[in-house]
Amino acid sequence: MGSEREPMTADSELAARVAALMPRAQQDLAELVAIPSVADPRQQPPEKCREAAEWVAAAFTGAGLRDVRLAETPDGSHAVLGHRPAPPGAPTVLLYCHYDVQPPLDDDAWTTPPFELTERDGRWYGRGTADCKGNIVMHLTALRALGDDLPVGIKLVAEGSEEQGTGGLEEYVPQHPEDLHADVLLVCDTGNAAVGVPTATTSLRGLANVVVTVRTLDSDMHSGMFGGPAPDALAALVRILDSLRDADGGTRIEGLENGGSWDGVGYDERQFRTDAGVLDGVKLTGSGTVADRLWARPAVTVLGIDCAPVVGSAAAIPGSARARVSLRVPPGMDPGAAQDALTAHLVAAAPWGARVTVEPESKGSPFQAATDGRAYAALDAAAREVYGKPLSFLGQGGSIPLCNVLAAQYPESEIILMGVEEPRCLIHAPNESVDPSEIEHMATVEALFLRHYAAAARQS
């Protein structure tokens, strides 16, 4: 006779509940991905974001939250808010996510339709599957697995314009501080260093974006009649943009220090090349370790250029051209000062007396988390149970300006950044995807974390 099966522990039973909920999680994600909730009326009707917000509100109401509602923020977007009161003496945890997504960019670059959840090679593809609708589903799955056995109070905020950087929720928080106040703020818009490696993000770069416009002629002029002595605005813009980098491709902006180093867990260069999809024979830009360049130094990117397209272009000298330039700012660097330095550099780099104007766009401060509180200890315990590994701490090159607003508004609260995103997800790029095992495992981590954190609070 075989040995009797070992009885399930409370934690293994919880993991089994999460596993049983995965078909529902897939259906949830399919419904969410089908809503093209790009918070830019130039690209998608605003009604689509409203539809996504109402879906989120209904789903979390069904998962046991109360008084779930849509709150308009100063940029016109809607945040979904809800709560469930804490049991007597128990702490409260805020669950953050966002339902708006990046535009799909080039539809032709997608192997499958961007707004249709598609399963391929064990992953689920579609815009927002990881960033951040996968994290919405993670929250829902954790709450459903716990059911009525919820050991802490819960507050929810699902942001509606995070990807546009227009700051609606950042402005809303100081005006309505009680809506988001909690003992722990679980900001789920990041993820693991790799599939199967539980990770909390402890460092975020800030950002300083501008739009630079170059003018050289009253209007475009015939290149045959005037080409040669007539200054080309697009060529001038190219020279200006080229001045932002050293010969090795590293960011070089007058007035900004670019020698910072990262002292945490590193990032293997070969793995980075794979994760970033760097083509064979193409060198990485800049110097220092990959982690230095990603998490400890400023990094400039040209996000877009307005000029004549190749197809349909005329034989004309461009009289004007413009570009959107983004500067990622590491912890310790002021984004306002960085934006000023970027602006001054762009103006000073103009060749041939070209007229340059720089319009400041969005900016956000970098963030550094404190990791010595009991919430991090509870998360580490949960990660060890689910993944069999301790929690790793990494930096991230992306920006979440809300984190600094939350830290300033709630200085006594612990802030944890985690989620289902990992490098293979290709967030913000074509063919975004999520590994469903990460949704399952991170939902289990979240549910166990809520239990462990409640227990730690009782013992304190």
Token output for 155: 């507050």
Distance CA 188, CA 421 (A): 9
Residues 6 or more apart from 127 whose CB is under 8 A from it?
33, 36, 101, 102, 104, 114, 115, 432
Q: Which among 160, 65, 213, 128 has a CA at the least distance from the CA of 419?
A: 128
State the angle between helix axes of 10-20 and 133-146 in degrees (0 to 180), rounded to the nearest 10. 130
Q: Which among 322, 124, 163 has a CA at the least distance from the CA of 233?
A: 322
- Known active-site residue 106: no
Residue type for 138, please? M
In three-state secondary structure terms, 291 is helix
Q: CB–CB of 60/138 below 8 Å?
A: no
- Known active-site residue 438: no
Which residue among 28, 100, 292, 446 is the active-site one? Answer: 100
Distance CA 316, CA 217 (A): 11
Which residue among 159, 162, 189, 435 is the active-site one? Answer: 162
Strands (E), 44-134: 66-72, 78-84, 92-98, 118-120, 123-125
Residues in the chain: 460
Active site residues: 100, 162
